[in-house]
Structure 1
Amino acid sequence: MGPVAFDASLWDEPTTGIGLYTHCLADGLEARGVRLERLGARVSGEDPRGRMGRTAYVLGRLPQVLRDSEARLYHALGNFNLPLVRIPGKAYVVTVHDLIPLLMPETVSRAYRWQFRLWLARSVQVADRILCVSACTRDDLLARHPEAEGKVSVVYNGVDHVDRHVPEATAEAFLRTLSLPERFVLYAGSLDVRKNVSLVLDALERLKARGRPAALVMVGQRWFGSGAVESRVERMRAQGHDIRSLGYQSEAVFFELMRRATVFAFPSKYEGFGLPPLEAMRLGTPAIVSTTGATPEVCGEGALAVRPDDAEGLAEAMDRLLRSDTERRRWAEEGKRQAALFTWARCADETLAAYEEVLRR
């Protein structure tokens, strides 16, 4: 099928969900013999953008790069970031992960919300194929852009990337310095309003009031609107709560924490896919998720689920798992069984099939 021009704009950046998707999908496609032209990475690939911003690169330089490329297809990976103009002889594919700036506008800046809205609308027009990472995201997209009907297909993410992250000596040494308690709750993700960290804190307060305090470890970067959560964490620490905020961590530390956690709490108000709880499930750590967004679709019967406003339900679920070996074993097995359905090989196969279908037109 010839080379594929591949959006590498997050290739050299700290790992996020879309960055992880970029690397894992690229590995899967290359394992199937697809030659990728990695375009727009900061310093690597076939056309590094250098100091140019990602938006400026896609709008200003990428169209000419595609004109000069022998690739017949360009795949944009970041929700909306296709060039605004069609290039003769080039097919466009875009992956849409979620519509959070439109569904939950308070969680992003006004400038980004408008950029997302306008650029997504244009990307829907120029795309030949739109890959959504869940049926939830597909339905959200079609509710706002019914004109995309016929272009959209669901291609789930994988989760088996966690298998290659074996415990490392440096990660284990770092974790020893933390003197973590034998049992603890782990939250991993950014600290924005959408992730609903406040519900986890509400649950901790309920448990402490009953004389059953729980330790919480938090891993994740600051994000738009995270200041309120950080201030509350400081107040709760002053009141005697055991809360460890570790910030952004390497994958080696992150996945080792997941393995060691007693329970993984992720009551996000909305996810377009919901990779962190699936990662925990793959590693055998019981997960608690919310009943909204794509997490019920992805986690299925492999995780406990509570409403995103149900602090009492979350407290009870956390307490059950912290106190019962039997409950933990049960949910660990259920989680592994569900997570086994999601592989990057399957994602690559279905993405490649979408490429081939577009190029046959």
Structure 2
Amino acid sequence: MNLNFGLYWDAYGLDAPNSGIFVHAHSIAKELDSLGYAPRLVGLKSALCSFPRLQGLHPLAHPLTKWWTRNKFLWPESVARRIESDSAGSYANVVLHGLSNFNIPIRPRNGWRLVLTVHDLIPIIAPHDVSTSLNLQMKFLLPRAMRAADCIVCVSRWTKETIIDFMPTLESKLVVIPNGVASFSPSVKTHSESGNRIRLLFVSRFERYKCHETLVTLLKSSNLALELDVITDLKGQRFWQSRAIDMIQNGRLRVHCGVYGDELRRFYENADVYVSPSRLEGYCLPAIEALSAATPVVYVGGSGIDEVAGSSVSYRVQNPLKIADWEDAICLAKSDSERSDYSIRVNEYLKTLPSWKDAAVELLTLYNKLV
């Protein structure tokens, strides 16, 4: 497969190594690079410095100041102009891929094809469960970006279905390329001698639909000996400090920010159960990361996480409003994970899911079809 066009990625949102968009972009870029088709990233120097250097990755420094990163309305067009200056005379055709739900230019350009990755429509379908600014921005930006795109990549079937419900006329543009599973070595979970104590883990930024409050109630009301590590953003840290300072002080709750990479992996490995109280998930990368560490997942179903968790290795909470249902699922998950065959079953399940290389190859095929 030979690229006869310029391949550019808009690097908006890739300056946070602990975000799902960063993991998605870096994992696919790494595989594209290994195949010899690294995209050219366009973005601010601060974002590009956060993105690990790959052998064939040629980032372009965006000439604008940091102020522009906060202006989602102006950003896509400014990136497009930067690409125009870089690609002039080099490529007859350009493929520009925006990976952050909104970031492709609206003004048409001759010989350009636009690809947009949409992770979810949560700010639109659940407006009261996200910040007002995020809802207003996405309400305006996301529909017009989807209309301008030549192809829309959905990270799950659930995301595709919600887009069809929201804008049925876009169905012909939609293609599902799921997030991948990272390469891993089969592992056996090591359980500490902790008596009846159950170590829970939750990884999520703070938004209302993520339902952090559910875990506050669970910790305060459960008769189980639960401990919880929460890895979140500054907004989430403030929430937990305001709602559960007593549990932080007595050691049952530990709140962490800015955790990613090998340090995050250790949290997954040391947890007994990963919990996901979120009502809506486009995909849920933390669930896959937990399973790859042989840590079972207890989750609220009804969205993209259903395509990820796997009923043979995870446990769906029947009624998220009932503490007893959470307790039952957590106890079943912990007991199951202590069986000698659990890690084998997890590894077999993960092998049934697409890899990041699969995602990269599908994207390459898509790019070539467009031009």
User: What is the TM-score normalised by the length of structure 1?
Assistant: 0.85
Q: Which runs of 5+ in 1 are unaligned?
A: 164-178
Aligned to 1:335: 346
Aligned to 1:81: 103
**In the aligned structure 1, how far is the partner of 2:301 from the partner of 2:34?**
36
Question: For residues 211-222 of structure 1, what are the structure 2 equivalents within 5 Å?
Answer: 212-222=224-234
**Residue 94 to residue 292, structure 1, CA distance change in 2 (3 Å):** same
2:276 equivalent to 1:260? no
How many Å apart are 1:241 and its aligned residue? 6.6
**Residue 328 to residue 251, structure 1, CA distance change in 2 (3 Å):** farther
Aligned to 2:357: 345
How many Å apart are 1:298 and its aligned residue? 1.8
Aligned to 2:295: 285
CA contact (8 A) 1:292 1:308 kept: no
**In the aligned structure 2, how far is the partner of 1:195 from the partner of 1:162?**
28
Aligned to 1:27: 30
CA contact (8 A) 1:132 1:152 kept: yes
**Residue 295 to residue 184, structure 1, CA distance change in 2 (3 Å):** same
**Residue 226 to residue 63, structure 1, CA distance change in 2 (3 Å):** same
Letter in 2 for 1:8: A
Q: Give 3-state SS (helix, strand or coil) of 1:160's partner.
A: coil
Which of 304, 314, 322 pairs up with 1:303?
A: 314
Q: Deviations over 1:330-357 (max 9, x none)?
A: 5544433333313100110111111111
CA contact (8 A) 2:130 2:209 kept: no
Question: For residues 65-214 of structure 1, what are the structure 2 equivalents within 5 Å?
Answer: 65-68=82-85, 69=87, 70=91, 72-160=94-182, 183-208=198-223, 212-214=224-226
Q: Deviations over 1:191-224 (max 9, x none)?
A: 332222222233333433xxx321111111134x
Q: Which runs of 5+ in 2 are unaligned?
A: 49-58, 186-193
Aligned to 1:53: 68
Q: Deviations over 1:303-350 (max 9, x none)?
A: 11114334321112223344x366555554443333331310011011
Letter in 1 for 2:212: V
Aligned to 2:45: 42
Q: Deviations over 1:126-149 (max 9, x none)?
A: 111000000000011111111111
**In the aligned structure 1, how far is the partner of 2:102 from the partner of 2:66?**
21
Which of 50, 63, 72 pairs up with 2:80?
A: 63
**In the aligned structure 2, how far is the partner of 1:125 from the partner of 1:309?**
38
CA contact (8 A) 1:137 1:272 kept: yes
CA contact (8 A) 1:12 1:42 kept: no
**In the aligned structure 2, how far is the partner of 1:235 from the partner of 1:193?**
22
Q: How many residues align?
A: 337
How many Å apart are 1:236 and its aligned residue? 4.0
How many Å apart are 1:23 and its aligned residue? 0.9
2:241 equivalent to 1:230? yes
Provide the aligned C-alpha RMSD in A: 2.5
Residue identity (%): 25
Q: Which moved more, 1:97-106 or 1:335-344?
A: 335-344
CA contact (8 A) 2:297 2:315 kept: yes
Letter in 2 for 1:261: A
**In the aligned structure 1, how far is the partner of 2:234 from the partner of 2:303?**
22
More helix by share: 1
**Residue 200 to residue 305, structure 1, CA distance change in 2 (3 Å):** same
**In the aligned structure 1, how far is the partner of 2:298 from the partner of 2:156?**
19
Aligned to 2:285: 275
Q: Deviations over 1:237-275 (max 9, x none)?
A: 46x571111223132211111011111111211100011
User: What is the TM-score normalised by the length of structure 2?
Assistant: 0.83
Aligned to 1:316: 328
Q: Give 3-state SS (helix, strand or coil) of 2:8's partner.
A: strand
CA contact (8 A) 1:84 1:126 kept: yes
**In the aligned structure 2, how far is the partner of 1:80 from the partner of 1:352?**
21
